[in-house]
Structure 1
Amino acid sequence: MTCELCGNAASGYLCNRHREQLAARLLELPALYREVGECLVPRRTGWGDIVATKASAGPRSPVDEDVIDTVNWARATEVIHGWRADVRRLRWPHRGAVPPARLDADCRWLAQELDWIVAQYPAAGDLAREVADLNSQVRSIVGDPEPRLQRIGYCVALVGEGVVCGAVISRLPGETRLMCRWCGSAYGPEDYLMLHHFQPADSR
């Protein structure tokens, strides 16, 4: 099988890297949305001087409408609950009704079911994409963007007689041990010089 998100070889619908990302995002999402509540206080120019977030007649809104437009936590709860209901329908078809929607409980439940989701749930890629979108939207408000992968180079491991893997190797900031997501070869700090030496000349 190949990963629904990156196309790399995988033992299920997601590779290990994207499974780990989905697990982390599910566990982070409720806390991020709680943090959004602190961003709902309207912008101020001074003591008690509220600046309207939109040009409109009538009383000023008691909350920052720009934040509400960008991140709708009610929609996030609805989306995540929908995924829980669908996974539960396939995973546990004989169980009763799904509990009422609660973002934290639904995210935690999906995270606990990730082994089955990755191995058996054909829509695992769509779930991962939608959770990533919700995560990105809420992080744009709280000012805490996810760290971007840094491209290091190409894997130089031999995967056959005279055949070099050549897959792109990347890492998150701060990671010191590199691993090729395609062939599984690992590179520690002691291998960096060798890895750099064998990179194609036009990629250095």
Structure 2
Amino acid sequence: MTACELCGEDSSGRYLCERHTTALARRLDDLPTLYAEVGECLVPRRTGWGDIVATKSAAGPRSPLDEDVIDNINATRAAEVVHLWRVDVQRERWPRHGAPPPGGLAADCRWLGMELEWIASHYPAAGDLASEVHELEKQARTIVGDPAPRPQRLGTCVAISAEGVVCGAVISRLPGQTRVQCQWCQYVYETGLDWMRLQHFQPKEVA
């Protein structure tokens, strides 16, 4: 009998039981949104929230950000951690393949999520992976609160390629977010004109 590496319960020969496999899938799905919101929380806002005051007492001008938080809880660090897990899982599963290039937090979380059944059944470090992803989630929630805010769907991207093709990818943003980059074509929406164009050129619903 193989017990789940996290709870010790019978897992029918798998390294993770069904409950912890499902929890890991949810956390991998949530991490990109959580760390996008972490980035929003660590940027001083013009209105609404007060500045986050630095806790360091070194001489000189005080930073408007909590530098200790930035050092330890940020999307760059989360992306590095998750990417290292992707590299190791790929090395175990396909040892003849080269290491994947960094693809960003969302891409690596999505890749791990797609390989989750194999990870739970065949990857000896599945418990460590699940624990570290859980820790990344907890760290982010210390900044953004719990539950985490959900992205708001704004419509589909209206950017036009050089070939005259409309992108059409879904555009979403977190509450309070004023700059959004399309994940497909990389077009950036941040000015009032951008938001007006996005709204104006949305496909009209068929009655």
The answer, yes or no, to whether TM exceeds 0.5 is yes
- Tell me the equivalent position of 2:121: 119
1:33 aligns to what SS in structure 2?
A: helix
Partner Cα separation in structure 2 for residue 129 and residue 29 of structure 1: 14
Note the 1:3-152 alignment, pairs <5 A.
3-11=4-12, 12-42=14-44, 51-144=53-146
Q: Which amino acid aligns with 1:33?
A: Y
Q: Which amino acid aligns with 2:4?
A: C
Any gaps of 5 or more consecutive residues in structure 2?
149-207
- Root mean square deviation, CA, Å: 2.8
Contact 1:42 1:51 in 2 (8 A): no
Once the two structures are TM-superposed, the CA of residue 61 in structure 1 deviates from its matched residue by: 1.7
2:85 aligns to what SS in structure 1?
A: helix
Contact 2:35 2:74 in 1 (8 A): no
1:136-189 Cα offsets, whole Å, 9 max, x none, are 11011101158xxxxxxxxxxxxxxxxxxxxxxxxxxxxxxxxxxxxxxxxxxx
1:5–1:43: structure 2 CA closer, same or farther, 3 Å change rule? same
Contact 1:29 1:135 in 2 (8 A): yes
Note the 1:153-164 alignment, pairs <5 A.
none
Per the normalisation by structure 2, the TM-score is 0.62
- Tell me the equivalent position of 2:164: none
Once the two structures are TM-superposed, the CA of residue 73 in structure 1 deviates from its matched residue by: 2.5
Once the two structures are TM-superposed, the CA of residue 68 in structure 1 deviates from its matched residue by: 1.2
1:3–1:113: structure 2 CA closer, same or farther, 3 Å change rule? same
Contact 1:33 1:73 in 2 (8 A): yes
Note the 1:152-191 alignment, pairs <5 A.
none
Structure with greater strand percent: 1
Q: Which amino acid aligns with 1:121?
A: Y
Please tell me whether Structure 1 or Structure 2 has the larger radius of gyration of its CA atoms.
Answer: 1
Once the two structures are TM-superposed, the CA of residue 2 in structure 1 deviates from its matched residue by: 1.0
Q: Which amino acid aligns with 2:108?
A: D
Q: Which amino acid aligns with 1:102?
A: G
Partner Cα separation in structure 1 for residue 109 and residue 15 of structure 2: 19
Per the normalisation by structure 1, the TM-score is 0.63
1:122 aligns to what SS in structure 2?
A: coil
Q: Which amino acid aligns with 1:144?
A: D
Contact 1:5 1:14 in 2 (8 A): yes
2:27 aligns to what SS in structure 1?
A: helix
Any gaps of 5 or more consecutive residues in structure 1?
147-204
Please identify, of 63-72 and 48-57, the stretch whose mean Cα deviation from structure 2 is larger. Answer: 48-57
Partner Cα separation in structure 2 for residue 126 and residue 47 of structure 1: 37
The alignment-based identity, stated in percent, is 67
Partner Cα separation in structure 1 for residue 122 and residue 51 of structure 2: 55
Q: Which amino acid aligns with 1:106?
A: D
Once the two structures are TM-superposed, the CA of residue 86 in structure 1 deviates from its matched residue by: 0.5
Q: Which amino acid aligns with 2:10?
A: A
Q: Which amino acid aligns with 1:85?
A: V
Contact 1:84 1:109 in 2 (8 A): yes
- Tell me the equivalent position of 1:182: none
